[in-house]
Amino acid sequence: MSFIVGIDGPAGSGKGTVTKKISNVLGLINIDTGSTYRCVALEVLNQGVEIIDKEKIIEIAKNIKIDIEHNQEGDRVFLNGIDVSKEIRSKEVTQIVSPISSIKEVRIAMVELQRKLADGKDIIMEGRDICTYVFPNADVKIYLDASLEERATRRFKECQEKGIPMTYDEIIENIAKRDENDKHKEIGSLMVAEDSIVVDTTNLSIDEVVNKIIEIIKEKK
């Protein structure tokens, strides 16, 4: 039987960094569900499909092949066999991913894929709707949060480190827009599951958050 840790939270709440660290410490397979929506967005750009062409976007989501390879140097994301780990973090993808992830049929296709990626494994899965929709019976449910300004500051630093040319103002505007969009989806909206433990990371270091969540997981295991 598999063991499932679900980590939900808005953009910049620290989910990605914290989940990676916990997966290394506890030997859980890390599945970043945002990367699946990002792959659909990248393919939409690659095929030159208009963002308003819902039918074509749904077709892309239904036929796309996404694999996540787990190794010591970090996880790699493959879209139709090509390593797109870097491209899916680009400004262009980030700008269109939220509306794409709001399309009901895209979500249904991605959730099916996410459940398959997790099948039979001990995993830690991060996203927006893991504890409410993808795995409502997850063994451990966490909701990470932080103030909008703190989240924008974190993303700005991350972009600078990765050489992604986005200003602080662009980032805060993008995050605020995504928050709004993520909270009002037809299915799989960003919300706190009734039985999730909320961890506010605004004034905590990464290691403090990691240790806190590891304690919670160990109690449940």
Residues forming contacts to ligand DC in the complex (CB under 6 A) are 11, 33-34, 37-38, 97-98, 101, 127-129, 178, 182, 188
Amino acid residing at 85: S
Q: Give the residue with the Cβ less far from ligand DC, 28 or 182.
A: 182
Report the nearest approach of ligand DC to the CB of residue 169 (Å). Answer: 18
Residue 43, number of CB atoms within 10 A of its CB:
21
Q: Cβ 218 to ligand DC, closest distance in Å? A: 25
Nearer to ligand DC, 62 or 221 (CB): 62
| Smaller CB separation from ligand DC, 43 or 129 | 129
The minimum distance between CB 71 and ligand DC, in angstroms, equals 20
User: Would you say 5 and 138 are in contact if contact means Cβ atoms under 8 Å apart?
Assistant: yes
Question: CA-CA distance, 126 to 34, in Å (whole number)?
Answer: 8
Helix (H, G, I), strand (E, B) or coil at 77: strand
Q: Take residue 165 and report the two structure tokens written for it.
A: 């040319």
Instruction: Give the residue with the Cβ less far from ligand DC, 167 or 221.
Output: 167
**Element spanning 135, H or E:** none
